[in-house]
Amino acid sequence: MPVARPETSDSRIIAHVDMDCFYVQVEQRKQPHLRGQPTAVVQYNSWKGGGLIAVGYEARKDGVKRSMRGDEAKKVCPQIQLVQVPVARGKADLTIYRNAGSEVVSILARKGRCERASIDEVYLDLTEAAETMLKETPIESLESIDEEVLKSHVLGLCLNGKDDKEIVREWLTRRDADHRDKLLACGAFIVAELRLQVLQETEFTCSAGIAHNKMLAKLASGMNKPAQQTIVTLSSVKGLLEPLPIKKMKQLGGKLGSSLQTDLGVNTVGDLLQFSEEKLQDIYGANTGTWLWNIARGISGDEVEGRLLPKSHGSGKTFPGVRALKTLASVEKWLKELCEELSERLQLDLETNKRVAHTLTLHANAYKSTDTDSHKKFPSKSCPLRYGAGKILEDSVKLFQAGLREFLGSYMNPVSGGWGITNLSVSASKIVAAPSGTSSITRYFHGQDRFHTSSEPSDEKFKLEDDKLSPLRTENHSASHQTECGGEQPQVTHDTSSFDRYETTCKDEATEGCLTLQNHEPKPRLPEKEKNINDEKPSYGQKRKATKEKGTSSILRFLQTNSCSSSNQETKCLSSGLQEALDVENESLIESQNNRRASQWRYNIDEIDQSVVEELPPEIQDEVRTWLRPQKQANTVKRGSNIAHYFSPQK
Ligand code: DCP
């Protein structure tokens, strides 16, 4: 869910730096003879010349596009150089690009707080640096100004194509300029210098947007590429935003954007301006309403997070068309590859950065051959992460089983086929600093081993991801979630809008080998009494209500299934291979249903895993925590309260 944060100040100086045709530049540095040549990077598979994932600017001039395959690119640009993405474990290996991104980050971080937003994008908070510069070096008295700064594009400034640099120079050095514009001018100097340092030290060019907040800086960085920078002045904000298609705005690429279009007739950001904050709050809830009102006016208080390392690690692969995985054995084989890669990267992160990840998540895209329910998605599943490739694989297999069972429903037997997996990925998130000192790290892992004595994850630790728990939980997870994938992955929506949207939509073959930015769809919190603009149509609010109910039953199912599975079944399930396990799971499901009918429900509160609790709706979390306080346990459970409702045998 978008969070409406008020601007702490409209004098912040924020830059968004985006590398130009990044993978192509990395390959050109590796093979200097490619410099200046039309070049594109293709995914490793050779069908129709492979899918293009990065296109150099020389090739773009000839009409080559990222949506093309290698063969098509050769038709429009016969001299194009196609470079294959490195391959490891039968899939794309992005290590060189990741490392190249880290080189750039370490340079950009020199002047202020720096947030690594993706493999080739960075936000910088340059407020302090700009203020210091303004105090120490008044720009109006500068005699010579670097070309790179003079090449800046200042939005709203009228250029004539002849004396552009002079006009920019005047703007930069105006004595009577507003303080905020003076700070922006300083930002332009600082960013130009950083971009030059990146070029000198890494040979890479990049482009940047400089503005008073992250949203505007991001919108501007792609406006003039390659190797240029764009400044968003306060006076230009209205003109910049008004014509923008609403779906292009960050966090509006999904359902919320569609609701604005269909329910309110809002197609551009300008259209949103006619709605009062109260009206938007009435429809979408207080927070989302305010957020919408703010973004229409270019207001966004999002802070640049000081983070030079990725938030999560992922390893994935797509299996398009005939390559879809149709047997459990093939899924297990690929999971092994993915888990090994993930484990290596986790190990490296631990050794290099002393960080540990806490959550393992399995995502997949699937279809049923006899599909009557084609909109149904394979549910993402997560559990506490245990270190070691073997353990990660074991847990991933369990997560896959759980997801497949849910995807197919109780009437379809996973073993008998009739399904296909077109995308598979595992990711590790909730990465935090490891306890300091090597001995602590060792203790940490010993502790983990003790916890998982059987090396088997207990069923209680498997939980439904996101929407599956409850709608509120989804809202809690609306913050952007970035995964640098080590393999073939879903789409990247690298337009000016939704780079950190959670688009579960996937991927055609051309997206293989790509970096994935996985984020959560904004889910507005709805007001208690939902007011619909159009009572005829099912509104966004009504849809959400339906989801809520669905979420409630899902969590119930989850808790009950877990608590009902007998230890005998569990042991059998865990010690067998995937096929056998799925048979057992089916039996277990039937038995758990019977158990439910017989009201043999039991849930041992001591077995509630903390990370499961964290995924529950906030009010439920509070109540569970109250339960977990032993001395108060007996007195604090409120009869008829929400938690009792979720956990009650009758349900
Ligand atoms: N990428 C990918 N798969 C995609 C899109 C992108 O693997 N579907 C990779 C290759 C890109 C890198 O991510 O080089 C960064 O993506 P961008 O969208 O930022 O595009 P480029 O950096 O290639 O070009 P631009 O100069 O337009 O930003």
Least confident of 19-28, 64-73, 249-258, 634-643: 634-643
- Same-domain check for residues 90 and 105: no
- Global confidence as pTM: 0.69
Domain annotation covers residue 7: no
Please name which of 559, 361, 380 lies closest in space to residue 459, comparing C-alpha atoms.
Answer: 559
What would the pLDDT profile of 139-172 be if each residue is shown by its tens digit?
887 888 999 999 999 999 988 877 899 999 999 9
pLDDT at position 457 over 50: no
Per-residue pLDDT, averaged over 264-270, amounts to 96
pLDDT at position 588 over 70: no
- Same-domain check for residues 385 and 478: yes
Ligand 1 atom at minimum distance from 207 CA: 26
Domain annotation covers residue 394: yes
Residue owning tokens 């707080």: 113
Residue nearest to atom 23 of ligand 1 (CA): 21
Per-residue pLDDT, averaged over 220-246, amounts to 97
Pairing of strands 87-88, 484-485: unpaired
| Cα 120 to middle of ligand 1, angstroms | 8
| Cα 25 to middle of ligand 1, angstroms | 11
Pocket probe for ligand 1: among 17, 20, 22, the residue whose CB has the most ligand atoms within 8 Å is 22
Per-residue pLDDT, averaged over 226-230, amounts to 98
What integer pLDDT is reported at residue 503 of this predicted model? Answer: 26
Q: Is the CB of 205 under 6 A from ligand 1?
A: no
- Same-domain check for residues 324 and 448: yes
What would the pLDDT profile of 179-199 be if each residue is shown by its tens digit?
999 999 999 999 999 999 999
- Same-domain check for residues 218 and 121: yes
Residue nearest to atom 3 of ligand 1 (CA): 514
Distance in angstroms (rounded) separating the CA atoms of residues 270 and 239: 9
Residue nearest to atom 1 of ligand 1 (CA): 514
pLDDT at position 423 over 60: yes
372: exposed, middle or buried (C-beta count within 10 Å: 0-12, 13-18, 19+)? exposed
Domain annotation covers residue 217: yes
Buried b (16+ CB within 10 A) or exposed e, 91-115: bbbbeebbebbeebbebbbebbbbb
What integer pLDDT is reported at residue 260 of this predicted model? Answer: 96
- Assign residue 164 the CATH number of its domain: 3.30.70.270
Share the mean pLDDT of the chain. Answer: 74
Query: What is the DSSP code string of 383-408?
Result: EE--SSHHHHHHHHHHHHHHHHHHHH
Instruction: Give SS3 for 299.
Output: coil
| Cα 119 to middle of ligand 1, angstroms | 9
| Cα 502 to middle of ligand 1, angstroms | 17
| Residue 633: domain span | 566-651
- Assign residue 49 the CATH number of its domain: 3.40.1170.60
pLDDT at position 397 over 90: yes
Residue owning tokens 């960085």: 221
Distance in angstroms (rounded) separating the CA atoms of residues 254 and 250: 10
Domain annotation covers residue 255: no
Cβ contacts of 468 within 8 Å, gap of 6 or more: 379, 551, 554, 555, 558
What integer pLDDT is reported at residue 48 of this predicted model? Answer: 86
Q: Is the CB of 19 under 6 A from ligand 1?
A: yes
Domain end call among 213, 237, 261: 237
Residue owning tokens 């937003």: 117
Domain end call among 237, 259, 292: 237
- Do the Cβ atoms of 45 and 512 come closer than 8 Å? yes
- Same-domain check for residues 120 and 225: yes
Domain end call among 474, 489, 505: 505
Q: Is the CB of 515 under 6 A from ligand 1?
A: yes
Q: How confident is the model at residue 473 (pLDDT cuts 50, 70, 90)?
A: very low
What integer pLDDT is reported at residue 465 of this predicted model? Answer: 35
Residue owning tokens 């990725």: 310
- Same-domain check for residues 67 and 120: no
Q: Which two tokens stand for residue 602?
A: 């039991």
- Do the Cβ atoms of 403 and 362 come closer than 8 Å? yes
Domain annotation covers residue 169: yes
Q: Which two tokens stand for residue 458?
A: 């207990």
- Same-domain check for residues 332 and 400: yes
Domain annotation covers residue 268: no
Domain annotation covers residue 531: no
- Same-domain check for residues 160 and 172: yes
Q: How confident is the model at residue 417 (pLDDT cuts 50, 70, 90)?
A: confident
Q: Is the CB of 225 under 6 A from ligand 1?
A: yes
- Same-domain check for residues 90 and 171: no
- Same-domain check for residues 114 and 88: no
Q: Is the CB of 319 under 6 A from ligand 1?
A: no
Residue numbers annotated as active site: 121
| Cα 48 to middle of ligand 1, angstroms | 20
Cβ contacts of 319 within 8 Å, gap of 6 or more: 325, 334, 420, 421, 422, 423, 424
Q: Is the CB of 514 under 6 A from ligand 1?
A: yes
What would the pLDDT profile of 36-53 be if each residue is shown by its tens digit?
999 999 986 667 888 999
Distance in angstroms (rounded) separating the CA atoms of residues 22 and 41: 10
What would the pLDDT profile of 116-128 be if each residue is shown by its tens digit?
999 999 999 999 9
Please name which of 17, 223, 170, 32 lies closest in space to residue 108, comparing C-alpha atoms.
Answer: 17
pLDDT at position 466 over 50: no
Pocket probe for ligand 1: among 16, 17, 23, the residue whose CB has the most ligand atoms within 8 Å is 23
Domain annotation covers residue 440: yes
What integer pLDDT is reported at residue 10 of this predicted model? Answer: 73
- Same-domain check for residues 90 and 215: no
Ligand 1 atom at minimum distance from 20 CA: 26
- Same-domain check for residues 88 and 103: no
Task: Count the domains in the chain.
Answer: 4
Pocket probe for ligand 1: among 96, 494, 496, 517, the residue whose CB has the most ligand atoms within 8 Å is 494
What integer pLDDT is reported at residue 321 of this predicted model? Answer: 86
537: exposed, middle or buried (C-beta count within 10 Å: 0-12, 13-18, 19+)? exposed
